[in-house]
Structure 1
Amino acid sequence: MSYLELANVSYTYPNGFEAVRDVSLKVELGESVAIIGQNGAGKTTTVKLMNGLLKPTQGEVLVEGRSAKGATTAEISRSVGYVFQNPDDQIFQETIYKEIAYGLVSQKLTKELIQQRVVEVAALCGLAESLKEHPYNLPYSKRKFVTIAAVIAMDPQVIILDEPTAGQDRQSTELLGQIIDQLAQKGKSVITITHDMEFVASQFKRVIVFANKAKRKDGSPEQIFWDEQLLKLANLKQPYICQLAKLLGKTGVMTIEELLERSFK
């Protein structure tokens, strides 16, 4: 049984705009999944359906085998956490410690357990030295890690990251990769929406492509990024390593190591 499932899900906004059409997919615990596609492809609407921020107009969302139809967003978020693209949409406490601890306080955990979890998550997200700081004293890129930490602290089984690499430098992107890896090792599922094809190619083993309001393909990075017809349909570019390999007449390459190995055979 999959932990999270969308079964023939569609969504039409109240103004009549159809955003997602007949999407079905399953996510297992421990998986790291990238969802890619151009703006308007249906990515964000789809993950908001997973989290209960939106309710499908057709089809069904199942969490741990149970329909989420009658559940509130707050109830679903205990299992499926969502980190917004803009951290300023989530931050409202006067210190980073309080921001990370806020959801834990609402769960009525002991002060000792709250402190332990805040310290652990802050260390994971590179915030250990900043817990007394006001979140808005940090740059935008660092504030993203505050919201990531706050959602991780709630201990959901599935964590959705919306454009986490936007505005990040190489060091921060590497930290994001480490966070995703550690969450997967703990049996958590991480679903990431991103336009960063380099990050997808290096970080994920499963990639889902959306185009024209529907899921178009679900496969490995090799299956996705060497499918030229699919990339054209979704208006996506190959990662740079694939573009270089193509110029050298090498196909199926996803890493510099693979390219070097094939080049010197």
Structure 2
Amino acid sequence: MAAAKAQITIDNLTYGYDREHPVLKNISLEIFKGECVAIIGQNGAGKTTLAKHLNGLNKPASGSVAINGQDTRSLKVSALSRTVGYVFQNPDHQIFHDAVGKEVAFGLKNFRLPAAEIEERVSEALAAVGLTEHYLSYPFNLSKGQRQRVALASVLAMRTEVIVLDEPTTGQDYKESVQIMDMVGDLNKKGHTVIFITHDMSLVAGYAGRAVVLCEGEIIADGPVRSVFARPEVLLKSYLSPPQITALAQSLNRHSFPPDVLSVAEMYGLLTEKRGVKIGCCS
């Protein structure tokens, strides 16, 4: 059986805002359809610069980026937006309409979809992010967290194959963050490729299957989240720490705890197993 082709192929990508100071250095990366990938690293590592290459906002200085086999340099951003939806870290960089409903409908109208389908998608997307009652609201009268959800709804309505989110939980409280990430997780389960940037390692542990660690414009780790988090010395190079529960398990290594525990529930199961306790048994 032939190996699956990557949906996103980045080959020796180098990019800088001036020639003397490259932000990205010889990045090579393949992302396959249906993956959920977290891009992590310290401020200035090049995460957002890399992500903007996926929808054509940035074009390679050297090397190449291809989406479904098409070089992004040959495609307009408007054409790429049919395949790659992008949610900015700052929603004010992409919101410009005077009503929430118009904002969410904008991309769909550019696709020349029937009016009934546009209305259905807008209603569905606003309901998904909990903003149905703000259909007619002026976006900049909303909180930053709500504006972030407006931007997310605009991408959800497009139903793109690939969804890129730059710090998707910025401005959200814990409950709102979980709601957004659960929504993103559901889209991934339905087959959408999801790529998200975050500084919250618990979100990486809870939702990503794969983590790519950037440090000073280079990839220093790439693999399943468990294997990446099991290498705290590598994370430290990019000023990151694994989730607290993972760090706790690693501190108990001498007691034979695995270094890749990702959740409290998993840790609890290990503790009860070691103590010989059977949960839920009263006899």
TM-score band by shorter chain is over 0.9
Q: Determine the structure 1 residue equivalent to 2:240.
A: 236
8 Å contact from structure 1 (residues 10, 22) kept in 2: yes
The superposition leaves residues 46-86 of structure 1 with CA deviations (integer Å, 9 ceiling, x where unpaired) of 11111110110111111111222211122212211211100
The superposition leaves residues 101-129 of structure 1 with CA deviations (integer Å, 9 ceiling, x where unpaired) of 01111222121111011011112222222
Q: Determine the structure 2 residue equivalent to 1:122.
A: 126
8 Å contact from structure 1 (residues 165, 196) kept in 2: no
Q: Determine the structure 1 residue equivalent to 2:227.
A: 223
Q: Determine the structure 2 residue equivalent to 1:194.
A: 198
Residues 61-80 of structure 1 aligned to structure 2 (within 5 Å):
61-80=65-84
Larger Rg: 2
Q: Determine the structure 2 residue equivalent to 1:257.
A: 265
Distance 2:7 2:226 in 1: 25
For structure 1, the residue ranges without an aligned partner over 5 or more in a row are: none
Q: Determine the structure 1 residue equivalent to 2:44.
A: 40
8 Å contact from structure 2 (residues 246, 261) kept in 1: yes
* SS of match in other structure, 2:65: strand
* SS of match in other structure, 2:170: coil
8 Å contact from structure 2 (residues 38, 210) kept in 1: yes
Q: Which amino acid aligns with 2:87?
A: V
* SS of match in other structure, 2:202: helix
* SS of match in other structure, 1:26: strand
CA RMSD of aligned residues (A): 1.4
Distance 1:94 1:22 in 2: 42
TM-score for both structures, normalised by structure 2: 0.89
* SS of match in other structure, 2:132: coil
Among candidates 31, 36, 56, match of residue 35 of structure 2:
31
% identical aligned pairs: 39
* SS of match in other structure, 1:153: helix
Q: How many residues align?
A: 265
Q: Does 1:136 align with 2:140?
A: yes
Among candidates 24, 29, 37, match of residue 20 of structure 1:
24
* SS of match in other structure, 1:25: strand
Residues 1-16 of structure 1 aligned to structure 2 (within 5 Å):
1-14=5-18, 16=20
Q: Determine the structure 2 residue equivalent to 1:180.
A: 184
* SS of match in other structure, 2:165: strand
8 Å contact from structure 1 (residues 32, 180) kept in 2: no
What displacement does 1:252 show? 2.1
